[in-house]
Amino acid sequence: MNKIRRTAPGLYLLIIVLGLTSLPLAWADGAKIRVGVLAYGTVNWELDTLKHHGLDKKYGIELLINKMAGKGASAIALQGGAVDAIVTDWIWVSRQRSSGADYSFVPHSVSVGGLMVRPDAGIKSLKDLADQKLGIAGGAVDKSWLMLQAYAQKTINVNLKEKVEPTFAAPPLLNKVMLKGEIPAVLNFWHYTARLKAAGMTELVSVEDMLPVLGVERKPPLIGWVFSEKWAAANRDTVTGFLKALRAAKNILATSDAEWQRLRPLTKAANNDILVALRNAYRAGIPASFNDKDVTAAEQLFETLAKYGGRDLVGDSNTLAPGTFWAGFRYE
Protein backbone atom coordinates (compact mmCIF):
# COMPACT_ATOMS: atom_id res chain seq x y z
CA MET A 1 0.00 0.00 0.00
CA ASN A 2 1.26 3.44 -0.84
CA LYS A 3 1.75 6.09 1.78
CA ILE A 4 -0.48 9.13 2.04
CA ARG A 5 0.99 12.20 0.44
CA ARG A 6 0.32 15.27 2.58
CA THR A 7 -0.46 18.68 1.12
CA ALA A 8 0.41 21.91 2.92
CA PRO A 9 -2.75 23.67 4.25
CA GLY A 10 -2.11 26.78 2.18
CA LEU A 11 -1.61 24.79 -1.00
CA TYR A 12 -4.68 22.69 -0.23
CA LEU A 13 -6.79 25.86 0.04
CA LEU A 14 -5.29 27.28 -3.16
CA ILE A 15 -6.18 24.12 -5.08
CA ILE A 16 -9.79 24.38 -3.89
CA VAL A 17 -9.96 28.05 -4.84
CA LEU A 18 -8.53 27.33 -8.31
CA GLY A 19 -11.23 24.82 -9.04
CA LEU A 20 -10.58 21.23 -7.94
CA THR A 21 -14.05 19.80 -7.43
CA SER A 22 -13.14 16.58 -5.64
CA LEU A 23 -9.94 16.17 -3.70
CA PRO A 24 -9.02 12.71 -2.40
CA LEU A 25 -6.01 13.27 -0.16
CA ALA A 26 -4.59 9.76 -0.36
CA TRP A 27 -1.95 8.83 -2.87
CA ALA A 28 -3.38 6.46 -5.47
CA ASP A 29 -3.94 3.09 -3.77
CA GLY A 30 -3.92 -0.11 -5.77
CA ALA A 31 -5.78 0.33 -9.07
CA LYS A 32 -7.01 3.88 -8.41
CA ILE A 33 -5.71 6.74 -10.49
CA ARG A 34 -6.72 10.36 -9.92
CA VAL A 35 -6.52 12.62 -12.93
CA GLY A 36 -6.91 16.38 -13.11
CA VAL A 37 -8.41 17.74 -16.34
CA LEU A 38 -9.74 21.10 -17.43
CA ALA A 39 -13.50 21.23 -16.95
CA TYR A 40 -13.93 22.51 -20.52
CA GLY A 41 -11.11 20.48 -22.15
CA THR A 42 -11.50 18.16 -25.11
CA VAL A 43 -9.81 15.36 -23.16
CA ASN A 44 -13.18 14.97 -21.42
CA TRP A 45 -14.59 13.54 -24.64
CA GLU A 46 -12.08 10.70 -24.43
CA LEU A 47 -12.54 10.13 -20.70
CA ASP A 48 -16.31 10.06 -21.15
CA THR A 49 -15.89 7.42 -23.84
CA LEU A 50 -13.59 5.44 -21.59
CA LYS A 51 -16.10 5.48 -18.74
CA HIS A 52 -19.16 4.88 -20.93
CA HIS A 53 -17.70 1.69 -22.37
CA GLY A 54 -16.31 0.41 -19.07
CA LEU A 55 -12.73 0.49 -20.30
CA ASP A 56 -11.46 1.42 -16.85
CA LYS A 57 -12.88 -1.80 -15.42
CA LYS A 58 -11.69 -3.80 -18.43
CA TYR A 59 -8.11 -2.69 -17.85
CA GLY A 60 -8.23 -3.07 -14.09
CA ILE A 61 -8.24 0.54 -12.92
CA GLU A 62 -10.53 2.86 -11.00
CA LEU A 63 -10.45 6.25 -12.70
CA LEU A 64 -11.21 9.26 -10.49
CA ILE A 65 -11.73 12.42 -12.54
CA ASN A 66 -11.18 15.83 -10.98
CA LYS A 67 -12.40 18.81 -13.00
CA MET A 68 -10.06 21.82 -12.86
CA ALA A 69 -10.74 25.50 -13.50
CA GLY A 70 -7.51 26.19 -15.39
CA LYS A 71 -4.11 24.97 -16.49
CA GLY A 72 -2.44 26.52 -13.46
CA ALA A 73 -4.80 24.68 -11.12
CA SER A 74 -3.91 21.38 -12.78
CA ALA A 75 -0.18 21.95 -12.31
CA ILE A 76 -0.64 22.92 -8.67
CA ALA A 77 -2.79 19.86 -8.03
CA LEU A 78 -0.12 17.57 -9.49
CA GLN A 79 2.72 19.27 -7.64
CA GLY A 80 0.78 19.15 -4.38
CA GLY A 81 -0.10 15.45 -4.67
CA ALA A 82 -3.84 16.05 -5.05
CA VAL A 83 -3.92 14.19 -8.37
CA ASP A 84 -1.67 11.61 -9.97
CA ALA A 85 -1.74 12.79 -13.59
CA ILE A 86 -2.71 15.84 -15.63
CA VAL A 87 -2.72 16.82 -19.29
CA THR A 88 -0.19 19.46 -20.30
CA ASP A 89 2.65 20.02 -22.78
CA TRP A 90 6.16 18.61 -22.69
CA ILE A 91 7.72 22.08 -22.61
CA TRP A 92 6.41 22.39 -19.05
CA VAL A 93 7.70 18.91 -18.24
CA SER A 94 11.17 19.69 -19.57
CA ARG A 95 11.30 22.92 -17.60
CA GLN A 96 10.24 21.13 -14.41
CA ARG A 97 12.83 18.39 -14.91
CA SER A 98 15.54 20.98 -15.47
CA SER A 99 14.60 22.33 -12.03
CA GLY A 100 14.90 18.93 -10.36
CA ALA A 101 11.36 17.48 -10.65
CA ASP A 102 10.76 13.96 -12.00
CA TYR A 103 7.65 14.46 -14.16
CA SER A 104 7.40 12.55 -17.41
CA PHE A 105 5.14 12.70 -20.46
CA VAL A 106 3.10 10.26 -22.58
CA PRO A 107 1.38 11.68 -25.71
CA HIS A 108 -2.33 12.39 -25.75
CA SER A 109 -2.63 14.28 -29.04
CA VAL A 110 -0.69 15.59 -32.00
CA SER A 111 -3.56 17.88 -33.03
CA VAL A 112 -2.45 21.33 -34.06
CA GLY A 113 -4.29 24.48 -34.98
CA GLY A 114 -3.64 26.84 -37.81
CA LEU A 115 -3.74 30.39 -39.08
CA MET A 116 -7.32 31.14 -40.09
CA VAL A 117 -8.37 34.14 -42.16
CA ARG A 118 -11.70 35.59 -43.19
CA PRO A 119 -12.36 34.83 -46.88
CA ASP A 120 -13.35 38.48 -47.41
CA ALA A 121 -10.19 39.90 -45.77
CA GLY A 122 -8.00 39.77 -48.89
CA ILE A 123 -5.27 37.81 -47.06
CA LYS A 124 -3.76 35.34 -49.52
CA SER A 125 -0.27 35.01 -48.04
CA LEU A 126 1.72 35.84 -44.92
CA LYS A 127 2.83 39.10 -46.54
CA ASP A 128 -0.80 40.23 -46.60
CA LEU A 129 -0.85 40.14 -42.79
CA ALA A 130 1.21 43.34 -42.66
CA ASP A 131 -0.47 46.01 -40.50
CA GLN A 132 -3.36 43.66 -39.75
CA LYS A 133 -4.68 42.52 -36.39
CA LEU A 134 -3.78 38.90 -35.67
CA GLY A 135 -5.70 37.17 -32.90
CA ILE A 136 -3.56 34.74 -30.91
CA ALA A 137 -4.70 32.23 -28.31
CA GLY A 138 -2.38 31.20 -25.52
CA GLY A 139 -0.34 34.35 -24.93
CA ALA A 140 2.97 35.74 -26.11
CA VAL A 141 4.83 32.42 -25.74
CA ASP A 142 2.13 30.24 -27.29
CA LYS A 143 3.86 27.47 -29.25
CA SER A 144 1.88 28.04 -32.45
CA TRP A 145 2.66 31.77 -32.39
CA LEU A 146 6.37 31.09 -31.93
CA MET A 147 6.31 28.57 -34.76
CA LEU A 148 4.50 31.00 -37.04
CA GLN A 149 7.16 33.63 -36.32
CA ALA A 150 9.91 31.16 -37.20
CA TYR A 151 8.02 30.06 -40.31
CA ALA A 152 7.61 33.66 -41.52
CA GLN A 153 11.29 34.36 -40.90
CA LYS A 154 12.33 31.35 -42.95
CA THR A 155 9.83 31.68 -45.80
CA ILE A 156 9.49 35.43 -46.37
CA ASN A 157 12.32 36.78 -44.18
CA VAL A 158 9.95 38.86 -42.07
CA ASN A 159 9.84 39.51 -38.34
CA LEU A 160 6.13 38.92 -37.91
CA LYS A 161 6.00 40.53 -34.47
CA GLU A 162 6.95 43.84 -36.08
CA LYS A 163 4.58 43.49 -39.05
CA VAL A 164 1.29 42.53 -37.39
CA GLU A 165 -0.71 43.78 -34.44
CA PRO A 166 -0.81 40.78 -32.07
CA THR A 167 -4.08 40.56 -30.16
CA PHE A 168 -4.04 38.01 -27.35
CA ALA A 169 -7.37 36.68 -26.09
CA ALA A 170 -9.19 33.55 -24.95
CA PRO A 171 -9.87 31.03 -27.75
CA PRO A 172 -13.69 31.31 -27.75
CA LEU A 173 -13.54 35.10 -27.75
CA LEU A 174 -11.19 35.09 -30.74
CA ASN A 175 -13.60 32.90 -32.69
CA LYS A 176 -16.49 35.17 -31.77
CA VAL A 177 -14.85 38.41 -32.87
CA MET A 178 -13.54 36.84 -36.06
CA LEU A 179 -16.97 35.56 -37.07
CA LYS A 180 -18.38 39.04 -36.37
CA GLY A 181 -15.78 40.51 -38.75
CA GLU A 182 -13.90 42.46 -36.10
CA ILE A 183 -10.58 40.75 -36.74
CA PRO A 184 -9.32 39.33 -40.05
CA ALA A 185 -6.98 36.55 -38.90
CA VAL A 186 -6.73 34.21 -35.94
CA LEU A 187 -4.16 31.68 -34.73
CA ASN A 188 -6.16 29.37 -32.51
CA PHE A 189 -6.14 25.91 -30.93
CA TRP A 190 -7.15 22.92 -33.04
CA HIS A 191 -10.78 22.51 -31.90
CA TYR A 192 -11.48 26.22 -32.31
CA THR A 193 -9.83 26.10 -35.71
CA ALA A 194 -12.16 23.23 -36.62
CA ARG A 195 -15.16 25.34 -35.62
CA LEU A 196 -13.93 28.22 -37.78
CA LYS A 197 -13.50 25.91 -40.78
CA ALA A 198 -17.07 24.68 -40.33
CA ALA A 199 -18.19 28.32 -40.27
CA GLY A 200 -16.56 29.03 -43.64
CA MET A 201 -13.27 30.57 -42.58
CA THR A 202 -10.12 29.75 -44.59
CA GLU A 203 -6.93 28.14 -43.30
CA LEU A 204 -3.95 30.08 -44.64
CA VAL A 205 -1.35 27.74 -43.17
CA SER A 206 -1.56 24.95 -40.61
CA VAL A 207 0.97 24.39 -37.86
CA GLU A 208 1.55 20.94 -39.37
CA ASP A 209 2.56 22.56 -42.68
CA MET A 210 5.11 24.71 -40.84
CA LEU A 211 7.00 21.77 -39.34
CA PRO A 212 9.08 20.64 -42.37
CA VAL A 213 10.18 24.23 -42.99
CA LEU A 214 11.32 24.40 -39.36
CA GLY A 215 13.42 21.25 -39.77
CA VAL A 216 11.05 18.98 -37.86
CA GLU A 217 10.88 15.62 -39.63
CA ARG A 218 7.47 14.50 -38.37
CA LYS A 219 4.54 15.83 -36.38
CA PRO A 220 5.55 15.53 -32.72
CA PRO A 221 3.10 15.03 -29.86
CA LEU A 222 2.18 18.37 -28.33
CA ILE A 223 0.10 17.61 -25.26
CA GLY A 224 -0.01 14.50 -23.13
CA TRP A 225 -0.46 12.85 -19.77
CA VAL A 226 2.10 13.90 -17.20
CA PHE A 227 2.93 12.19 -13.92
CA SER A 228 5.79 11.58 -11.52
CA GLU A 229 8.24 8.89 -12.56
CA LYS A 230 8.51 7.80 -8.92
CA TRP A 231 4.75 7.42 -8.70
CA ALA A 232 4.66 5.52 -12.01
CA ALA A 233 7.35 3.10 -10.80
CA ALA A 234 5.33 2.38 -7.65
CA ASN A 235 2.08 1.98 -9.62
CA ARG A 236 3.28 0.44 -12.88
CA ASP A 237 0.25 -1.80 -13.51
CA THR A 238 -2.15 1.06 -12.80
CA VAL A 239 -0.37 3.44 -15.18
CA THR A 240 -0.16 0.82 -17.93
CA GLY A 241 -3.84 -0.08 -17.50
CA PHE A 242 -4.79 3.59 -17.69
CA LEU A 243 -2.79 4.21 -20.84
CA LYS A 244 -4.19 1.08 -22.50
CA ALA A 245 -7.72 2.17 -21.62
CA LEU A 246 -7.04 5.56 -23.20
CA ARG A 247 -5.78 3.92 -26.39
CA ALA A 248 -8.91 1.77 -26.50
CA ALA A 249 -11.10 4.87 -26.09
CA LYS A 250 -9.18 6.56 -28.91
CA ASN A 251 -9.84 3.55 -31.13
CA ILE A 252 -13.59 3.88 -30.53
CA LEU A 253 -13.51 7.58 -31.34
CA ALA A 254 -11.41 6.88 -34.45
CA THR A 255 -13.86 4.35 -35.87
CA SER A 256 -17.36 5.05 -34.55
CA ASP A 257 -19.37 7.96 -35.92
CA ALA A 258 -22.21 6.91 -33.61
CA GLU A 259 -19.97 7.57 -30.61
CA TRP A 260 -19.57 11.17 -31.74
CA GLN A 261 -23.33 11.58 -31.95
CA ARG A 262 -23.52 10.36 -28.35
CA LEU A 263 -20.84 12.88 -27.37
CA ARG A 264 -22.45 15.78 -29.22
CA PRO A 265 -23.84 17.52 -26.09
CA LEU A 266 -20.39 17.33 -24.47
CA THR A 267 -18.69 18.85 -27.55
CA LYS A 268 -21.21 21.71 -27.59
CA ALA A 269 -21.37 21.42 -31.38
CA ALA A 270 -24.20 23.69 -32.52
CA ASN A 271 -24.83 21.66 -35.66
CA ASN A 272 -23.71 18.51 -37.44
CA ASP A 273 -21.16 20.34 -39.62
CA ILE A 274 -19.32 21.50 -36.51
CA LEU A 275 -19.52 18.04 -34.96
CA VAL A 276 -18.01 16.47 -38.09
CA ALA A 277 -15.25 19.09 -38.16
CA LEU A 278 -14.41 18.40 -34.51
CA ARG A 279 -14.53 14.65 -35.09
CA ASN A 280 -12.20 14.82 -38.09
CA ALA A 281 -9.76 17.15 -36.34
CA TYR A 282 -9.68 14.93 -33.25
CA ARG A 283 -9.04 11.83 -35.35
CA ALA A 284 -6.20 13.56 -37.19
CA GLY A 285 -4.61 14.20 -33.81
CA ILE A 286 -4.55 10.62 -32.54
CA PRO A 287 -0.87 9.68 -32.16
CA ALA A 288 -0.01 6.84 -34.55
CA SER A 289 3.13 6.03 -32.61
CA PHE A 290 5.22 6.88 -29.59
CA ASN A 291 8.82 5.95 -30.23
CA ASP A 292 12.31 7.40 -30.51
CA LYS A 293 11.48 9.14 -33.80
CA ASP A 294 8.67 11.04 -32.11
CA VAL A 295 11.02 12.08 -29.31
CA THR A 296 13.55 13.26 -31.89
CA ALA A 297 10.87 15.38 -33.59
CA ALA A 298 10.09 16.99 -30.23
CA GLU A 299 13.78 17.73 -29.68
CA GLN A 300 13.95 19.39 -33.11
CA LEU A 301 10.90 21.51 -32.37
CA PHE A 302 12.26 22.44 -28.94
CA GLU A 303 15.24 24.16 -30.58
CA THR A 304 12.94 26.50 -32.51
CA LEU A 305 10.67 27.15 -29.54
CA ALA A 306 13.64 27.90 -27.29
CA LYS A 307 15.05 30.33 -29.86
CA TYR A 308 11.85 32.32 -30.26
CA GLY A 309 10.27 31.83 -26.83
CA GLY A 310 13.44 32.23 -24.80
CA ARG A 311 13.63 31.94 -21.06
CA ASP A 312 9.97 32.88 -20.57
CA LEU A 313 9.03 29.59 -22.24
CA VAL A 314 11.78 27.07 -21.53
CA GLY A 315 13.48 28.45 -18.43
CA ASP A 316 17.23 28.11 -18.06
CA SER A 317 17.71 25.10 -20.36
CA ASN A 318 17.93 25.40 -24.14
CA THR A 319 17.75 21.63 -24.64
CA LEU A 320 14.97 19.16 -23.94
CA ALA A 321 15.61 17.61 -20.52
CA PRO A 322 16.44 13.87 -20.54
CA GLY A 323 13.51 11.77 -19.38
CA THR A 324 10.88 14.28 -20.48
CA PHE A 325 9.21 11.49 -22.47
CA TRP A 326 8.38 8.42 -20.39
CA ALA A 327 10.19 5.29 -21.52
CA GLY A 328 7.74 2.96 -19.80
CA PHE A 329 5.07 2.97 -22.52
CA ARG A 330 5.91 2.99 -26.21
CA TYR A 331 4.03 1.82 -29.32
CA GLU A 332 4.55 1.77 -33.07
pLDDT confidence of 212, banded at 50, 70, 90? very high
Segment 183-202, tens digit of pLDDT:
999 999 999 999 999 999 99
pLDDT computed for residue 13 by the predictor = 41
pLDDT computed for residue 311 by the predictor = 87
Ramachandran class of 200: left when φ > 0, alpha when ψ lies in -120 to 50, beta otherwise: left
First vs last C-alpha separation in the chain: 33
Please answer whether residues 282 and 111 qualify as being in contact, where contact means their C-beta atoms are separated by less than 8 angstroms. Answer: yes
- Percent of the chain beyond pLDDT 90? 83
Q: How far apart are CA 70 and CA 192, in angstroms?
A: 17
pLDDT computed for residue 321 by the predictor = 95
pLDDT computed for residue 26 by the predictor = 36
Stretch among 24-28, 198-202, 304-308 having the lowest mean pLDDT:
24-28
Please answer whether residues 95 and 315 qualify as being in contact, where contact means their C-beta atoms are separated by less than 8 angstroms. Answer: yes
Stretch among 15-19, 128-132, 301-305 having the lowest mean pLDDT:
15-19
Q: How far apart are CA 257 and CA 289, in angstroms?
A: 23
Stretch among 109-113, 134-138, 313-317 having the lowest mean pLDDT:
313-317
Query: Residue range 42-70: average pLDDT?
Result: 96
Distances (CA, A) of 313 to 39, 95, 308: 25, 8, 9
**pLDDT of residue 204 exceeding 60:** yes
**pLDDT of residue 45 exceeding 50:** yes
Q: How far apart are CA 220 and CA 110, in angstroms?
A: 6
**pLDDT of residue 293 exceeding 60:** yes
pLDDT computed for residue 185 by the predictor = 98
Q: Which residues pair with 87 in a beta bridge?
A: 225
Segment 138-153, tens digit of pLDDT:
889 999 999 999 999 9
**pLDDT of residue 25 exceeding 80:** no
Query: Residue range 101-114: average pLDDT?
Result: 95
**pLDDT of residue 130 exceeding 90:** yes
pLDDT computed for residue 8 by the predictor = 45
What domains, with CATH codes, occur in the chain? 9-110+221-314 (3.40.190.10), 114-213 (3.40.190.10)
Q: What is the pTM of this model?
A: 0.87
pLDDT computed for residue 16 by the predictor = 39
Query: Residue range 215-225: average pLDDT?
Result: 92
pLDDT confidence of 112, banded at 50, 70, 90? confident
**pLDDT of residue 77 exceeding 90:** yes
Q: Residue by residue, what is the 3-state secondary structure of the chain?
A: CCCCCCCCHHHHHHHHHHCCCCCCCCCCCCCEEEEEEECCCCHHHHHHHHHHCCHHHHCCCEEEEEEECCHHHHHHHHHCCCCCEEEEEHHHHHHHHHCCCCEEEEEEECCCCEEEECCCCCCCCHHHHCCCEEEECCCCCCHHHHHHHHHHHHHHCCCHHHHCEEEECCHHHHHHHHHCCCCCEEEECHHHHHHHHHCCCEEEEEHHHHHHHCCCCCCCCCEEEEEEHHHHHHCHHHHHHHHHHHHHHHHHHHHCHHHHHHHHHHHCCCCHHHHHHHHHHHHHCCCCCECHHHHHHHHHHHHHHHHHHHHHHHCCCCCCCCCCECCCCCEC
**pLDDT of residue 241 exceeding 50:** yes
Query: 303-328 burial, b if ≥16 CB within 10 A, otherwise e?
Result: bbbbebbeeebbbeeeebbeebbbee
Q: What is the mean pLDDT of the chain?
A: 90
Query: Residue range 26-53: average pLDDT?
Result: 86
**pLDDT of residue 4 exceeding 90:** no
Segment 150-186, tens digit of pLDDT:
999 999 999 999 999 999 999 999 999 999 999 999 9
